[in-house]
Amino acid sequence: MGDGEVILLDFWCSMFGMRARVALAEKGIKYQYREEDLGNKSPLLTQMNPVHKKIPVLIHNGRPVCESLIILHYIDEVWSHTSPLLPSHPYHRSQARFWASYIDDKLSEYGHKLNTSKGEEQEAAKKDFIDCMKVLEGELGEKPYYGGESFGFLDVALITFYPWFLAYEKSGNFSMECVCPKLIAWAKRCMQRESVSKSLADPYKIYEFVQQIRNTKFGTDE
């Protein structure tokens, strides 16, 4: 079942797309990477994800799987013989899903607001973002990974925000290392894995990308 053609429709700096890239790399799956122009989406993207028309989409033997967390589940179930990502115990699986949805509902929203707002709105987003990061750091506790002794589903779901940290820090004028030192130590541990370091976008390019968005929105003399 795991064999066959695998295509990933993606966008280089997407934290959602990078999740699929890390999971595919962890499992050692060969795939075709197709970069989408989100301002001019390909007919394949609109055909494969007609509901949301968003990346990432994993196309396995011609059939699409949409939504990054669902893609992670799918990859883990189809290529189950190696590098399990989800915990084996139902309770631990439920907790990994809970925290992944917390990341998508909260961290992703506050991070986006922090990068794309100014003044009071940005200060509020910064506070929410930092609070959220501290909650996630608390959940990690003293464990090396969210998956416990091994790198797993929740590690994949969160590590793809790491290359965005530089842009968040510059936008909010704060240091993640000072705010959440244990979380940064965890991120550096994850980066030692080739599946992670080779799949994540360059933080400086992401920072430039965010600057361009801010310049378009607010002008260059912020």
CB of residue 104 to ligand GS8, shortest distance in Å: 6
Exposed/middle/buried for 53, CB within 10 Å: 0-12, 13-18, 19+? middle
Contacts with ligand GS8 by CB under 6 A lie at 11, 14, 16, 38, 53-56, 67-69
CB of residue 71 to ligand GS8, shortest distance in Å: 7
Residue closer to ligand GS8 by CB (options 54, 214) is 54
Residue closer to ligand GS8 by CB (options 38, 135) is 38
CB of residue 210 to ligand GS8, shortest distance in Å: 12
Residue closer to ligand GS8 by CB (options 38, 138) is 38
Residue closer to ligand GS8 by CB (options 19, 126) is 19
Is residue 151 within 8 A of residue 25, CB to CB? The reply is: no
Residue nearest to ligand GS8 (CB): 54
CB of residue 221 to ligand GS8, shortest distance in Å: 27
Q: What angle do CA 165, 168, 172 make, to 5 degrees?
A: 140
Q: What is the dihedral of CA 114, 216, 10, 105, to 10 degrees?
A: 20
Return the beta strands (E) in 97-159 as ranges: none
The amino acid present at 171, given as its one-letter code, is S
CB of residue 19 to ligand GS8, shortest distance in Å: 7
**How far apart, in whole angstroms, are the C-alpha atoms of residue 179 and residue 2?**
42
Half-sphere exposure of 53 (CA within 13 A, CB side): 8
Residue closer to ligand GS8 by CB (options 16, 207) is 16
